Chain A
Amino acid sequence: MTFYGFLFYVISAAVIGSTAIAITRRNMVHAVVYLVVSFFGTAMLFYLFGAPFLAALEVIIYAGAIMVLFLFVVMMIRVESPGEVMFPLSQWLPAALFGLIYLAVAVVMIFRTSGTQVPLSALTASPGQFALYVFEHHWFSIEVISTLLLLALVGALHLGLGRRKNRVEEEI
């Protein structure tokens, strides 16, 4: 095993572990902070796979913006700890069984398919190359994305302001 391979396994274990801890927390602030740790690990995986620009975006957008948005919502609203009850055994046992079957079949399929044993070679796409590629081949999709983000902004504003405006009208 090479040094990069060793790094890959260590980072993957950290990512899977922190994600598993995050999804089982009752306290949502703890869950969000564990997920930030998981996203940092994902950013390191991206860097290992030769995508430094995407690694930076992962830290800035996922770990920075999205998770802070979650934290704001969790802190803005007082969460009465709802007694989350586990589903009864008769309900989740079949689901777990089918899930495990699919997981086993998927792993077997991945390792029996030709081409998945190919070792990845360490290669890096610099941000300049990446930007050139994106704006040569996908400039229209980038414009569509900007429209999508504008739409999200308008939608969030509409949802956030709608009720208050109604209340003002009622008072009048």
Chain B
Amino acid sequence: MIVPFGHVLVVFGIIFGLGVFCAVVRRNLIMIVLGIEIMLNAASIAFVGAALRWQNLEGQTFVLFILAVAATEVSVGLAVIVYAFRQTGSFDPNNFNLLR
């Protein structure tokens, strides 16, 4: 016996909220991608907790997919950020208005 399942969900909610805060408030592209990573990580905590709650391996399998999606997202996202940095010389999302 570890803890009630609700506590796991509360921890997931707090970490997810921190990720949302980071992605919304920071004006730096790298920190925005970091916030998305934190959110994905929080989701995987919830999935593993749920897998233990219902004693079903489906949740753990989904974490495997989350890991792959996170790796994909971060590699392409950082490549796009470096590309945008070469174009504008800045990490500030407000400066990416080349189409204006």
Tell whether A165 is near chain B: CB-to-CB under 8 Å.
no
Cα A122 to Cα B53 in complex, Å, equals 10
Tell whether A93 is near chain B: CB-to-CB under 8 Å.
no
| CB-CB contacts below 8 Å: A13-38 with B | 15-16, 19-20, 22-23, 28, 31-32, 35, 38
Binary interface encoding of chain B residues 39-63 relative to chain A, with 1 for a CB under 8 A from any of its CBs, else 0: 0010011001101110101001101
Cα A127 to Cα B74 in complex, Å, equals 26
What number of A-B contacts does a CB cutoff of 8 Å give? 210
Tell whether A88 is near chain B: CB-to-CB under 8 Å.
no
- Are the CB atoms of B30 and A28 closer together than 8 Å? yes
Number of interface residues of B (CB under 8 A): 66
| Residues in A neighbouring B25, C-beta threshold 8 A | 87, 92
B56 to chain A, nearest CB (A): 9
- Are the CB atoms of B61 and A138 closer together than 8 Å? yes
Given contacts A23-B26, A39-B41, A82-B91, contact A159 B18 (CB under 8 A): no
B70 to chain A, nearest CB (A): 7
Write the residues of chain A forming the contact surface with B, with a CB cutoff of 8 angstroms. Answer: 2, 4-5, 8-9, 12, 15-16, 19-20, 22-23, 28, 31-32, 35, 38-39, 42, 45-46, 48-51, 53-54, 57-58, 61-62, 65-66, 69-70, 73-74, 76-77, 79, 82, 84-85, 87, 92, 95, 99, 103, 106-107, 110-111, 113, 115-123, 125, 129-130, 133-134, 137-138, 141-142, 145, 148-149, 151-153, 155-156, 159-160, 162-163
Pairs A–B under 8 Å by Cβ, sample size 7: A19-B38, A54-B48, A66-B71, A74-B30, A95-B24, A119-B1, A145-B64
